[in-house]
């Protein structure tokens, strides 16, 4: 007999027995789990965090997505992108992501584990806009990420980097690129000088940005296709890289400060190049 004052048993709203999980409702949405078992770091794993970066990975579908770890709010915002790809979703607390990425990471409630982008060869570059970027040992992930974001905004055909002395293409770089990593073909080469030689044989005008260049980029005659070569901050272009350029050009600064961060210099250079290459 039921004890006096105790409401009748409501099976529909009853909690599951201890140790058992209630069955998930049938909503047609991807499977959701509370498990937060992260994979071990490896060369075959890219860890991408930040709302815009993850959203563009899901939209672009250029790589295989494995597991998405997101807060309930972030998962809701990404619902349309999640539905369009095969990825296992884990709804977790923000503290779980903090523990995985570190307290300083601005993850915005989302982390994606995926496979790296497919490797491309220099011969895979397709010339559409007629503009390519080559980075001569720029190692700061914030700078490279910002360059990739700018390159995506300017519809650059490809970004060439060296396989050594280049940052990892995930984490901070992917977050800073804000999705640009998914939209610009990225070509890693062993020898940048040899790659520039190949581009020259293919008809590219090779323009090296150099603060001591003999002419300003604004007054340099450009032709399609063009590859703009950027050197690392402080070091600039290496000697052999400079020798493989057809033209060395500077960015003239009328103000009191005569130099720019390399990612800002890239944005200015692409603006001038686009104006010079207008059909």
Q: Are 83 and 30 in contact (CB under 8 A)?
A: yes
Residue 31's pLDDT band (cuts 50, 70, 90): low
Examine the pLDDT at 11 and tell me if it is beyond 90.
Answer: no
pLDDT at position 6 is 44
Residues 6+ apart with CB under 8 A from 257: none
Fold of 32-114: 60s Ribosomal Protein L30; Chain: A; (3.30.1330)
Examine the pLDDT at 16 and tell me if it is beyond 50.
Answer: no
Tens-place pLDDT, residues 231-259: 998 889 999 999 999 999 999 999 999 88
Of residues 83 and 7, more confidently modeled: 83
pLDDT at position 3 is 44
pLDDT at position 94 is 96
Fold of 122-276: Alpha/beta knot (3.40.1280)
Examine the pLDDT at 225 and tell me if it is beyond 50.
Answer: yes
First to last CA, the chain: 88
Examine the pLDDT at 156 and tell me if it is beyond 70.
Answer: yes
Q: Do domains 32-114 and 122-276 have the same CATH topology?
A: no
Name the token pair of 230: 């950027």
Query: In whole numbers, what is the pLDDT of the chain averaged over residues?
Result: 89
Examine the pLDDT at 279 and tell me if it is beyond 60.
Answer: yes
Examine the pLDDT at 17 and tell me if it is beyond 80.
Answer: no
pLDDT at position 29 is 52
**pTM of the predicted model as reported, rounded to 2 decimal places:** 0.84
| Cα radius of gyration (the chain) | 25
Q: What is the DSSP string of the chain?
A: -PPTTPPPP-STTPPPPTT-PPPPP--SSPPEE----PPPP-TT-EEEESHHHHHHHHHH--S-EEEEEE-HHHHHHTHHHHHTS--EEEE--HHHHHHHH-TT---TTEEEEEPPPPP--GGG---SSSEEEEEES---HHHHHHHHHHHHHTT-SEEEEESSS---SSHHHHHHHTTGGGTS-EEEES-HHHHHHHHHHTT-EEEEE-TT-SEEGGGS---SSEEEEEEBTTTBS-HHHHHT-SEEEE----SS-----HHHHHHHHHHHHHHHT--
CA atoms of 223 and 247, how far apart (whole Å): 12
Q: Are 101 and 163 in contact (CB under 8 A)?
A: no
Q: Are 207 and 249 in contact (CB under 8 A)?
A: yes
Instruction: Find where tokens 């009748």 sit.
Output: 8
pLDDT at position 243 is 97
Residue 36's pLDDT band (cuts 50, 70, 90): low
Q: What are the boundaries of each domain within the chain?
A: 32-114, 122-276
pLDDT at position 34 is 56
């Amino acid at each position: 007999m039921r004890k006096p004052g105790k409401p009748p048993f409501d099976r529909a709203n009853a909690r599951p027995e201890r140790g058992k999980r209630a069955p998930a409702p049938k909503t047609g949405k991807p499977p959701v789990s509370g498990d937060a078992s992260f994979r071990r770091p490896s060369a075959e794993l890219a860890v991408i965090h930040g709302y815009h970066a993850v959203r563009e990975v899901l939209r672009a579908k250029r790589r295989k997505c494995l597991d998405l770890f997101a807060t309930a709010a972030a998962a809701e915002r990404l619902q349309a992108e999640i539905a369009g790809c095969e990825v296992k979703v884990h709804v977790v607390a923000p503290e779980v992501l903090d523990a995985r990425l570190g307290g300083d990471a601005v993850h915005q409630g989302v982390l994606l584990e995926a496979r790296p982008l497919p490797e491309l060869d220099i011969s895979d570059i397709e010339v559409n806009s007629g503009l390519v970027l080559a980075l001569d040992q720029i190692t700061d992930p914030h700078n490279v990420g910002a360059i990739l974001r700018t390159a995506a905004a300017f519809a650059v055909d490809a970004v060439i980097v060296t396989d050594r002395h280049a940052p990892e293409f995930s984490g901070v770089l992917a977050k800073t690129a804000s999705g640009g990593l998914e939209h610009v073909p990225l070509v890693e080469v062993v020898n940048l000088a040899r790659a520039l030689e190949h581009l020259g044989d293919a008809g590219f005008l090779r323009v090296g940005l150099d603060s001591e260049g003999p002419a300003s980029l604004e007054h340099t005659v450009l032709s399609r296709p063009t590859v703009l070569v950027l050197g690392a901050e402080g070091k600039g272009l290496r000697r052999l890289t400079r020798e493989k350029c057809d033209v060395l050009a500077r960015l003239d600064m009328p103000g009191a400060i005569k130099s720019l961060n390399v990612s800002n210099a890239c944005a200015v250079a692409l603006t001038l190049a686009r104006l010079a290459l207008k059909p």
